[in-house]
Amino acid sequence: MLFFKVGRERSTLIFSAGVSGFFAFTGILCGLWTGSLAILFDGAYSSVSLVLSLLSVMALRWSGLPASNHFNFGRILAEPLVIAIKGFIILLVCLISLLSALNALMTGGREIVADMATGFAFFSVMGCVFTWRYLQYCNLIHQSALVDAEAKQWCMDSLLSAAVLLGLLIAWGMTWTAYAHWAVYVDPLLVVLVSVYIMAVPVRMMLQGMGEIMMMSPKPELRKRVYRSLSEIGIQPSQSKMAKVGSYLLLEVSIGVEHVQQMEGLQQRIDQQFGDFPLEVKTQILFYPKWPRGAVSLLR
């Protein structure tokens, strides 16, 4: 079952990488041809998306590899590490684009071929929104941190493309008015606004990735769901610890036992309890001796 899940995730990420490659090539080409800094930014963002999508495919493969002599506990931290790297690189692209746009504003703006740029921007919006919604649908099936990060990436690209289209329409409309001389400032101003607006998303991605690498406790709703499942087999919240790492839930349960027979079958009951859980649950059970009532310890 896990093999097919990973295969579907990989196919989804490869699809995302292919679409990113197409928009990267056409965006940079159209940006250079029309002189639009906003479209060039969109194309550069798609180029980065292509590299990051391929990195996600590699992370998915790494996280599924078994433990080895060099990686005794496996490579499940590859997923949150890639998410943190993706957030950092996207934030870096936004900062570079912001500085370029501010420079263009201070040096007299940029003239663009508005009609051709507007046509490409409309096509880009349609493609980005379709890809974003498709990845959201896929993540409902996969429940994958990597696919979710990919969907957020395309959400940002959709917002960027929509803002570019709106700005180009405004710039094109201004050329027919008495404010035509201000139209050259619309394109770089647009990049400034969009860059500042979407910076929050990569920052959240970085925080999410770093939090999972440091094995922070998962969100309250996920913890409550785990506690409910454990309580059904007699395990209290105080007996468990957990951390979400990518597509995995690391669960540690501490059980006090008086007899060896109490240890039998507990692992199977926990596995059955989390059989339909959206994350792959990796459980570690720690047994410790519990003195029967009335027993006197000989240890002083």
User: Which residue carries 């059904």 as its tokens?
Assistant: 232
Predicted confidence pLDDT, tens digits, the chain (300 residues)? 444 445 577 788 788 888 888 888 888 888 888 777 777 777 877 787 777 777 777 777 777 677 777 777 677 788 888 888 888 988 888 888 888 888 888 888 777 766 777 888 888 899 999 999 998 888 887 677 778 878 887 887 788 788 778 888 888 888 788 877 887 888 788 888 888 888 888 898 899 889 988 888 888 898 999 999 888 888 888 888 999 887 788 898 888 877 666 677 788 888 888 888 878 888 888 887 776 555 444 443
pLDDT at position 296 is 46
pLDDT at position 4 is 40
Contact 223, 242 (CB under 8 A): yes
Give the side-chain half-sphere CA count within 13 A for 223.
12
Which domains, and CATH codes, for the chain?
2-213 (1.20.1510.10), 220-289 (3.30.300.130)
pLDDT at position 262 is 65
**Of 281, 48, 77, nearest in space to 150 by CA:** 48
User: Which residue carries 């071929």 as its tokens?
Assistant: 113
Q: Kindly report the number of other CB atoms within 10 A of residue 232's CB atom.
A: 10
The DSSP annotation for 172-208 comes to HHHTTSTTGGGGGGHHHHHHHHHHHHHTHHHHHHHHH
Say if residue 72 is exposed, middle or buried (CB neighbours under 10 Å; 0-12, 13-18, 19+): exposed
